[in-house]
Structure 1
């Protein structure tokens, strides 16, 4: 990769991180017009496409980037899994998350996302193990605490579900989904004062 492509990629990434998605897409495409097999730009363009709701395009671009890269990163497989998950292609998503974990066993996001797929496909006990592994790797992962609470609730383990919902809200007080779930579960258990 030439220095001008590296500079352009850095510009595109900054646009992407700052939410300037149109500008990021333009620069990713400029890089790919110069270097059609630029795996980093292709993977990031695929991730951007997925984020913008173009999930199939995301799958195609990220898959191609993984094919042409000598060493695709775990995050690439995780991003591919996310695009598949949004398309309800659960088998493909699970396979991508497992490849991410095989590439980097310490990728907390991939463990969390694999847990979501396992839960979605009725394998709640397996999902619990993945969520717990994600939390071993990143204990302040509020979304995983909420996901684990959902799994425990499905397994009728209310105390454990409450613990993880409280932890999610403690980590991120503005986390509305966790606050809502906590309120509902407290109401369900008869703790109406706590539910307010």
Structure 2
């Protein structure tokens, strides 16, 4: 058994077709158990890429591509992994993990094809059959999924995975009580079965039984540190209960292992905003006035009968509703033409608004930000804390000796990188600066220098 990720020799991980799914699962758990382990695997991924470029033996190249594809899948780079694994899909292991990629990407037909290819040499591989059943369920073919599951009842009736998959199928059919029984049976067989714990937690969550949901989510993440959905759901639950620090921690745990996870980034931003939220009377008054404008009924304006009828059919009642729809969506509606569109745009312009604006904004007050010039906004911020950066990003800047916005604006990408600011934090800094019409200083050939630094 592999003791720790530091002891894993990736060059010897594959010998022919002997790489085991158990070993890959163990590696994945290790990678998601700490930031240090993730960084070690990231470094190995870069090393594998270089090895592939240097290797001239076609068989060894395929071996390295297979390992690299699996590693990319482990760290959540599913699209990149799938492109690599397509090159080795003739191998049983390659086909299996390509199937896992397709399943995550929602291409269920391709996933099923890969899983079928993976099990051709061993028709008794129970776990692959469960992958097939799961994929069929996810594609909506519940009947076939249940048929596969029940077909293994006699031989694998004491399997936690079988009962968990059975419960998931029953959930899809709306038979929640029966599903619950199968999750409980799975946990009787294996009290530490993370999939069943997650499903129990999710069902309690949906039923509004917060305390039970918290208990099962906590048990799930303690046993399966790579279960990002458990962390995200737990974070949302904490946020709903006003526990913003705990919520932020959950989302940060996901981002430690998968820095580009869109859901975790979005939820972390909301949690951080809630933590730093403060009451300001003037802001409160301003937001009250803005809310009044957004809630003005469309009926208060003089519009053509056609425009009014179209908006009514689209269930658009207020100015706020108009800020949540785009020009293209309006024009796609039957009988809604350019004339009606121009009428709507003129009304919104009177109030300093435009179509689709709410889709670009996080709060109602941002809908009115166009009234403040970029220069005014830039002058209004001095301290780094006003940029609404994540706690981790602020800590990195503080360690680099950067406490004020004016100091930050004097820096280039390369200079910040040399001070230990990683790429994901650079992106966060630039995104937040852009909201105030600000940007980092542009240095000569900065992009080229960044690329060189990244490969050194």
User: What TM bracket, shorter-length normalisation?
Assistant: 0.7 to 0.9
TM-score (norm 1): 0.73
Matched, 1:53 2:140: yes
**In 2, are the aligned partners of 1:119 and 1:127 still within 8 Å (CA)?**
yes
Aligned position for 2:210: 124
- Deviates further, 95-104 or 20-29: 20-29
Relative to structure 1, is the Cα distance of residues 125 and 77 closer, same or farther in structure 2, using a 3 angstrom cutoff? same
More relative contact order in 1 or in 2 (CA 8 Å, sep 6+)? 1
Rounded to whole Å, the distance in 2 between the matches of 1:89 and 1:17 is 31
**In 2, are the aligned partners of 1:25 and 1:48 still within 8 Å (CA)?**
no
Matched, 1:176 2:371: no
Instruction: Write out aligned runs for 1:15-54 (5 A).
Output: 15-19=95-99, 20-24=110-114, 40=126, 43-54=130-141
**In 2, are the aligned partners of 1:28 and 1:45 still within 8 Å (CA)?**
no
Relative to structure 1, is the Cα distance of residues 186 and 88 closer, same or farther in structure 2, using a 3 angstrom cutoff? farther
Q: Which structure has the greater CA radius of gyration? A: 2
Relative to structure 1, is the Cα distance of residues 164 and 21 closer, same or farther in structure 2, using a 3 angstrom cutoff? closer
Matched residue of 1:194: which SS? Answer: coil
1:61-81 CA distances to partner (integer Å, 9 max, x unpaired)? 32x135322544211222222
Deviation at 1:18, TM superposition (A): 1.9
Deviation at 1:128, TM superposition (A): 0.5
Number of residue-to-residue matches in the alignment: 180
RMSD: 3.1
Quick check: which one's helix share is greater? Answer: 1
**In 2, are the aligned partners of 1:165 and 1:178 still within 8 Å (CA)?**
yes
Deviation at 1:127, TM superposition (A): 0.7
- Deviates further, 141-150 or 84-93: 84-93
Relative to structure 1, is the Cα distance of residues 121 and 56 closer, same or farther in structure 2, using a 3 angstrom cutoff? farther
Relative to structure 1, is the Cα distance of residues 44 and 189 closer, same or farther in structure 2, using a 3 angstrom cutoff? closer
- Deviates further, 147-156 or 67-76: 67-76
Relative to structure 1, is the Cα distance of residues 193 and 17 closer, same or farther in structure 2, using a 3 angstrom cutoff? same
- What are the ranges of 5 or more consecutive residues in structure 1 without an aligned counterpart? 1-10
Relative to structure 1, is the Cα distance of residues 90 and 154 closer, same or farther in structure 2, using a 3 angstrom cutoff? farther
Deviation at 1:91, TM superposition (A): 2.2
**In 2, are the aligned partners of 1:152 and 1:160 still within 8 Å (CA)?**
yes
TM-score (norm 2): 0.35
Matched, 1:141 2:227: yes
**In 1, are the aligned partners of 2:98 and 2:114 still within 8 Å (CA)?**
no
Deviation at 1:30, TM superposition (A): 8.4
- What are the ranges of 5 or more consecutive residues in structure 2 without an aligned counterpart? 1-90, 100-109, 278-386, 391-431, 433-456
Relative to structure 1, is the Cα distance of residues 61 and 186 closer, same or farther in structure 2, using a 3 angstrom cutoff? same
Instruction: Write out aligned runs for 1:66-145 (5 A).
Output: 66-145=152-231
Aligned position for 1:8: none
1:65-108 CA distances to partner (integer Å, 9 max, x unpaired)? 35322544211222222233334433233222222111111212
**In 2, are the aligned partners of 1:168 and 1:178 still within 8 Å (CA)?**
yes
Deviation at 1:177, TM superposition (A): 1.1
